[in-house]
Structure 1
Amino acid sequence: MSVTVQKLVRTAPGSDRQLLKSVSLDVPTGHFVALVGPSGAGKTTLLRAIAGLDVCDSGTLLLDGQKVETMQDRARKIGFVFQNYALFPHMTVARNISFGLDVQPRGSRLSRQDRAARVQELLDLMQLPDMGAAYPARLSGGQRQRVALARALASGPGVLLLDEPFGALDPIVRRTIRSWLRSLHDRLGLTTILVTHDQEEALEVADRIVVMQQGLIVQDAAPDILDQSPETAFVMEFMGEAITFRGTLNNGQFVPDEGGVLPFPVAAHLESGPIDAMIRPFEIGIVSAGNAEKMLSPVSVVSHGARNGYRHYLARLTDRTISVSAPDWGNDSINFAEAGVLDISRARLFKNGLRVV
């Protein structure tokens, strides 16, 4: 089932502050989209608007090209999983899962036998085959999350909405659950929209990542494109650690403001003037200071350990210390005796927060 959002506007109750500013989004059938951004960006507001839990001032929602306006229109089409699971503590796991089926209108309600079969089917799918009689208090965080997912899927929705579903889980369980969720999404052919503040989580599970800031979508792209070609400085910083070097464009060359950093050529058509170069720590090179760089202030480099497949270093510039990383294999570690200047030629350039190259 496809989801199309057209120019949604929502204002905060009791104020004139816009939580969504004419937001449009298209999610084709079977796609997995992640909404990311800082707190207050509008991620959950957009998700709740799609679910029909919040009323917008203007805009349109289409499911499979059909306009929907009421909760009743969406009830059997959208499943919603909250961050805190929202399970009923006085009900068994089986009753929690069947709740949506039990309250359906009598004319469309499944028989008791069919509802029980559906619940067991979902328990098997969630890898909780023998937990139907248990109460939520007996379950681990990961198991509760699976029960919440089962309840959202009980009515057979075409769209699954997830609001920070892994926030309360420890890192190991979190990684396991999100991998399993992606597999479940593919197996059931769902259209899934996930809200998360964790960019690594979004990169791992989503087909597309939608970055939001102050009620706007600032970039919508596949994970690899978003990582390699951020359109704004905000996106560059949000998608991973980034280091900024102030400088000037001068006759087709980026000239850093601080010593110990090599100038590098850029596109000749760019207008001269102040500009920012932003780069990931693992993209920075440290090279020997040759005769051509004798006027530069050499940097001091110290080892900062190894983790996650990289060796990490601290490079001390005149007024600050920055992180530099190198792949942790082979024998190509940095030679501290010869290290002298930073090579940032792989940086992206931004002017007034917008990418220029």
Structure 2
Amino acid sequence: MSIEVCNLVRLAPGTQQRLLDDVSLTIPKGAFVALVGPSGAGKTTLLRAIAGLDNCNSGSVLLDERPMTSVKDRAGRMGFVFQNYALFPHMTVARNIAFGLDVLPRSERPARAYIAQRVEELLELMQLQGMGGKHPAKLSGGQRQRVALARALATGPRVLLLDEPFGALDPIVRRSIRAWLRDLHDRLGLTTILVTHDQEEALEVADRIVVMQSGRIVQDATPLELDEQPATNFVMEFLGEAVSFAGEVRHGRMVLDDALVLPFIVPDGVTDGPAVAMIRPYEIAIQKPTSEQDVLSIYAAPRGTRNGYRHYTLQIGERIIPFYRPVDEDDVQVQGVALDISRSRLFRQGLLCG
């Protein structure tokens, strides 16, 4: 089921503050999209607007090109999983899962035998066999999360909306359940929207990532596109550790504020003026100097290894910056060398150049 968000505007109650500021978004059938951004960016507000849980001041939401004007229009089409699971503590797992079917109008409610069969199917799908008679308090966090997912899927929705569903889980459980969720999405052919503050989580499971800031969509792209061509310096900083070098472009070269001239290819068409070069710590390289002007005396302090990289801190004058190299490379030798930031992205007034 495709989703089209058209020019949504939502104002904070009693004010003119825009929680959603003319937001438009198209999500094709079967896509897995992650909404990311800092607190207050509008991620959950947008998700709830799509679900019909909150009204907007203007704009519209279409499912399969049909306007959705009420919660009833969305009933049975969307499953929503809340951050705190929202399970009923007095109900068993089986009754929690069956709740969406049990509360349907009598004319639409399936037979009891069908509901019981559906619950068993979902317990098996969620790897919760034999737990239908337990209460939520007896389950682990990961199991409660799977019960919440099963309840959201009980009515057979084609759209799954997830509002930071793994926030309360420990890192090990989070990693295992998000891989399982991606597999579930593919097997069921769902259209999934995930709100998360975990950039690594978004990069791992989503086909597309929508970066939000101050109620607006800043960039909507694949993980690879976001990494290689971040639209703004905010996007680059938000999606991973980045090192900034402020300075100015002079005659096609980047001259830093501390008078260093580093190897960096300035994109064609970029005129002279203030700019910021930004690079990931693992993209920084050490090279032989081509002139005395390029020579640096750098102190490199090892800081252990992580994710296949040996971590260092580089000290250049008064500045200390992170620097990563693959663990299979030799230790960094940094006396009388030049720093290569040629893989930097260049930003002017916060926007990517070139």
The equivalences for 1:53-202 within 5 A come to: 53-202=53-202
Single out whichever of 99-108 and 298-307 deviates more from structure 2: 298-307
Task: Provide the rounded CA distance (Å) in 2 between the counterparts of 1:202 and 1:235.
Answer: 14
Aligned: 1:348 with 2:345: yes
Deviation, 1:286, is 2.1
Task: Provide the rounded CA distance (Å) in 2 between the counterparts of 1:261 and 1:312.
Answer: 25
Given that 2:254 and 2:266 are in contact with CA atoms closer than 8 Å, whether structure 1 keeps it comes out as: yes
Deviation, 1:294, is 4.5
Give a deviation string over 1:257-298, Cα, whole Å, max 9, x none. 2256624332342110111000000011123446x1347552
Paired amino acid for 2:338:
V
Root-mean-square deviation (CA, aligned residues, Å) is 1.3
Deviation, 1:318, is 1.8
Task: Provide the rounded CA distance (Å) in 2 between the counterparts of 1:259 and 1:317.
Answer: 12
Among 316, 320, 332, the residue aligned to 1:334: 332
Task: Provide the rounded CA distance (Å) in 2 between the counterparts of 1:33 and 1:63.
Answer: 15
Given that 1:261 and 1:341 are in contact with CA atoms closer than 8 Å, whether structure 2 keeps it comes out as: no
Paired amino acid for 1:28:
P
Given that 1:255 and 1:264 are in contact with CA atoms closer than 8 Å, whether structure 2 keeps it comes out as: no
Given that 1:96 and 1:151 are in contact with CA atoms closer than 8 Å, whether structure 2 keeps it comes out as: yes
The count of residues paired between Structure 1 and Structure 2 equals 354
TM-score by length of 2: 0.97
Paired amino acid for 1:328:
V
In structure 1, the partner of 2:214 is 214
Give a deviation string over 1:160-217, Cα, whole Å, max 9, x none. 0000000000001000000000000000000000000111100100010000000000
| Cα distance change of structure 1 residues 295 and 335 upon mapping to structure 2, 3 Å threshold | closer
Paired amino acid for 2:183:
S
In structure 1, the partner of 2:247 is 247
3-state DSSP of counterpart to 2:297? coil
Task: Provide the rounded CA distance (Å) in 2 between the counterparts of 1:137 and 1:304.
Answer: 42
3-state DSSP of counterpart to 1:265? coil
Aligned: 1:303 with 2:302: yes
| Cα distance change of structure 1 residues 23 and 295 upon mapping to structure 2, 3 Å threshold | closer
Task: Provide the rounded CA distance (Å) in 2 between the counterparts of 1:14 and 1:294.
Answer: 59
Task: Provide the rounded CA distance (Å) in 2 between the counterparts of 1:78 and 1:322.
Answer: 46
| Cα distance change of structure 1 residues 339 and 34 upon mapping to structure 2, 3 Å threshold | farther
Which sections of structure 1, spanning at least 5 residues, go unmatched? none
Deviation, 1:227, is 1.2
Given that 1:260 and 1:296 are in contact with CA atoms closer than 8 Å, whether structure 2 keeps it comes out as: no
In structure 2, the partner of 1:277 is 277
Single out whichever of 253-262 and 127-136 deviates more from structure 2: 253-262
The equivalences for 1:2-13 within 5 A come to: 2-13=2-13
TM-score by length of 1: 0.96
The equivalences for 1:32-51 within 5 A come to: 32-51=32-51
3-state DSSP of counterpart to 2:204? helix
Sequence identity percentage: 63
Which sections of structure 2, spanning at least 5 residues, go unmatched? none
Aligned: 1:316 with 2:315: yes
Deviation, 1:304, is 1.8
Given that 1:38 and 1:197 are in contact with CA atoms closer than 8 Å, whether structure 2 keeps it comes out as: yes
Deviation, 1:16, is 1.2
| Cα distance change of structure 1 residues 261 and 84 upon mapping to structure 2, 3 Å threshold | farther
